[in-house]
């Protein structure tokens, strides 16, 4: 299992940050590795919503993950899970109010599926690089109190 955790201070209110992070269509605005997001169930964020997230894959091959919102506890906690034939992903976002806005913690784990599962720890270094790029984009977006900045 590879894991990436980052806490980003935000000038957004906790409610605004929660709404922004719960709507996975925003992934493509801050994560350069995400090529597109299509909502396939629901409208915006919410429990049981589903999104097809297409990411830049290895060796130039795109990978699409079907993310499903499993927990949606406004304005503090979001849990989404995804699985495709190669990988499983579990992403939790927690939001804690601060004097100037809130702290947004993104905690993601990635594991290989099937016979490749024992090799999951080897994903760590690559996953950290991907996470660092996404975190930089998220820092820029969350610094905007309106949530309209695009990276």
* CA dist., res. 109 & res. 106, Å (int): 10
> Considering only 34-38, 41-45, 80-84, 115-119, which range has the smallest mean pLDDT?
115-119
Residues listed for the chain = 151
Q: pLDDT band for position 58 (50/70/90)?
A: low
Percent of the chain residues topping a pLDDT of 90: 65
> How large is the C-alpha radius of gyration of the chain?
15
* CA dist., res. 110 & res. 79, Å (int): 14
**CA 70 remoteness from chain centre:** 13
Q: pLDDT band for position 47 (50/70/90)?
A: very high
* CA dist., res. 116 & res. 106, Å (int): 25
Terminal alpha carbon distance of the chain: 29
Query: Which pTM does this prediction carry?
Result: 0.89
Closest CA to 22 of 51, 2, 52: 51
Write down the domain spans for the chain.
2-142
Specify the pLDDT at position 26. 94
**Which residue carries 């299992």 as its tokens?**
1
* CA dist., res. 12 & res. 41, Å (int): 27
Decide: residue 119, CB within 10 A, 0-12 exposed, 13-18 middle, 19+ buried: exposed
Contact in structure between 76 and 14 (CB atoms under 8 Å):
yes
CATH 3.30.530.20 for domain 2-142, yes or no, is yes
**Residue 10 has which token pair?**
């935000």
What is the pLDDT averaged over residues 31-43?
94
Q: pLDDT band for position 144 (50/70/90)?
A: confident
**Which residue carries 């049981």 as its tokens?**
48
Taking only the tens place, the pLDDT of each residue in 71-117 is 999 999 999 999 988 889 999 999 999 999 999 999 999 888 888 77
3-class state of residue 38 by DSSP: strand
Specify the pLDDT at position 76. 97
What is the rounded average pLDDT for all residues in the chain? 90
**Residue 33 has which token pair?**
């590795």
Residue 118 clears pLDDT 60, i.e. is over it = yes
């Amino acid at each position: 299992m590879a894991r990436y955790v980052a806490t980003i201070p935000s000038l957004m209110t906790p409610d605004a940050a929660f709404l922004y992070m719960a709507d996975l269509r925003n992934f493509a605005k801050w994560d350069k590795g995400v090529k597109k997001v299509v909502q396939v169930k629901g409208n915006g964020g919410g429990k049981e919503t589903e999104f097809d997230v297409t990411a830049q894959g290895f060796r130039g091959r795109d990978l699409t993950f079907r993310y499903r919102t499993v927990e949606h506890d406004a304005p503090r906690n979001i849990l989404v899970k995804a699985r495709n034939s190669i990988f499983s992903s579990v992403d939790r976002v927690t939001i804690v109010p601060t004097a100037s806005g809130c702290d947004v913690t993104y905690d993601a784990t990635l594991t290989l599926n099937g016979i490749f599962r024992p090799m999951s720890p080897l994903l760590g270094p690559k996953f950290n690089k991907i996470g660092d790029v996404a975190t930089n984009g998220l820092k820029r977006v969350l610094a905007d109190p309106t949530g309209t900045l695009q990276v």
